Chain A
């Protein structure tokens, strides 16, 4: 039951990120397993730390500073433009 709830949350959040990506002319990584694992990690961080902090960046513990790394983080657009994907590979060009 708990697993089903988590899987539903992952699907819901993935759909939200897909909508966000589409609106910004990029997309969620089409490799489902990669995107799912990142979203799963985001939900785990939300449960542990209170926010969906990027699972590829260290949270400092400073709430103001760490706002920068709440997914989608402040770096993702520049990274997608430069590298074709955000550092975590959740979003791709």
Chain B
């Protein structure tokens, strides 16, 4: 799975040929660790429809500040380069799939 950085973030989102689901996490955050395998499964299940990427908040202070990420995990859904929606905190697989299905 692609890990975005402050350096490649804007170009990646702008050039993506599908909607992008971005999981913003931190290595010290237990709910982020719980969410991670679900996000990975979703990346596989939705690989024809969306691109799933991750971003380590500590490693990306500029992008984190730009999108005002203060709570983690925060998951963004980008469509045509813009944030279409987001959610914060751990959610079970089915809820995340519903979140995506409503936005595709």
One of B27-35, B43-51, B76-84 contacting the partner: B27-35
Residue A44 at the B interface, CB < 8 A?
yes
B70 to chain A, nearest CB (A): 5
Contact A37 B30 (CB under 8 A): yes
Partner of A88, one of B30, B33, B70: B30
Count class of interface residues, chain B: 10 to 19
Which A24-64 residues have a C-beta within 8 angstroms of B? 34, 37-38, 40-41, 44-45, 55-58
Complex Cα distance A88/B32, Å? Answer: 10
Residue B104 at the A interface, CB < 8 A?
no
Complex Cα distance A12/B5, Å? Answer: 39
Contact A44 B70 (CB under 8 A): no
Q: Which residues of A contact B28 (CB under 8 A)?
A: 41, 44-45, 55
Residue B72 at the A interface, CB < 8 A?
yes
Partner of B72, one of A37, A45, A56: A56
Complex Cα distance A19/B2, Å? Answer: 43
Contact B30 A58 (CB under 8 A): no
User: Chain A interface (Cβ within 8 Å of chain B)?
Assistant: 34, 37-38, 40-41, 44-45, 55-58, 87-89
In the complex, 5 of the A-B residue pairs with CB atoms within 8 angstroms, ordered by the A residue number, are: A55-B29, A55-B30, A56-B72, A57-B72, A58-B70
